[in-house]
Amino acid sequence: MPDFSSHSPIYRVIAAQITDRITSGVWPAGTVLPAETALAQEFRVSVGTIRRALGDLTAEGSLVRRRKTGTVVTGRTPRHNLRFYFHYFRLHTRAGEMQNSRVGVTSVESRVATAHEAQTLSIDETDMVIDIHRVRAVEGRPVMHEEVIIPAALVPEFPLQADLVPERLYPLFWERYGIRISAIREQIEAGLADETDARHLGLTLPAAVLVIHEVAFDEKARPVLMNNHRATTENDVYINEIQ
């Protein structure tokens, strides 16, 4: 069941759940969705809420309404849309096919910000941050590890147990803390793998890695999260479509 104990409107929570099913392949392109009444019963919400969620997804291109058929998954989910960005893993196969990743949190702690983190996140060096380290795997194969840094003041009562940290952090910002991500900046560069990369990604040194420095901003252009990704692209390629 969706988590309705959040700041997000219920129809947005439902839309996110439907997007999950589309991007994970549960409802692939061409799937005819159940009737609105059936969806309302499944999610335990009103038909009006379902209709608004489907309307949002139709407007952005994920769904199409057909008079005789019903609501159909288009397969044209816009990858430039931030909602899709939240759900979409940008390391593809070398043939360009999308992949689903699974995230494993290896550690999470609350600590004082470093000078670089304070500067990037526009906080004081004495402020606390939440430091999360995660490893992403595709079909059991580790392809990326990342360190996520969040100002602790923005996420009160954030879980400090690895098994309680959700896989998708950007939706959490809105659903639990009312922070809407409006922009994401990425800086990409090539790097040499170090011992940490080798340990988490199963690399034999020397090896190359793709390094992605990511900063997310809210609607007031305030930096609210930084994420340093390090990935092996031996069998994968990075794709970020702009339309």
Do 44 and 120 have their domain in common?
Answer: no
Do 162 and 68 have their domain in common?
Answer: no
User: d(Cα 235, Cα 16) in Å, to the nearest integer?
Assistant: 30
Q: How many CB atoms lie within 10 A of CB 29?
A: 12
More confident residue, 96 or 29: 29
Query: 149: domain CATH number?
Result: 3.40.1410.10
Res. 123: pLDDT tops 80: yes
Closest CA to 125 of 144, 111, 136: 111
Q: How far is CA 108 from the centre of its chain?
A: 18
**227: in domain:** yes
Please provide the average confidence, as pLDDT, over all residues in the chain. 86
**87: in domain:** no
Residue-number span of the structural domain to which 206 is assigned: 95-238
Do 187 and 111 have their domain in common?
Answer: yes
**83: in domain:** no
* Residue 192 near residue 231 (C-beta atoms within 8 A): no
Out of 73, 104, 124, a domain closes at: 73
Render pLDDT for 196-234 as a digit per residue (tens, 0 to 9). Answer: 999 999 999 999 999 999 999 988 889 999 999 999 988
Do 214 and 129 have their domain in common?
Answer: yes
More confident residue, 34 or 28: 34
Do 111 and 214 have their domain in common?
Answer: yes
- Residue 25's pLDDT band (cuts 50, 70, 90): confident
**3: in domain:** no
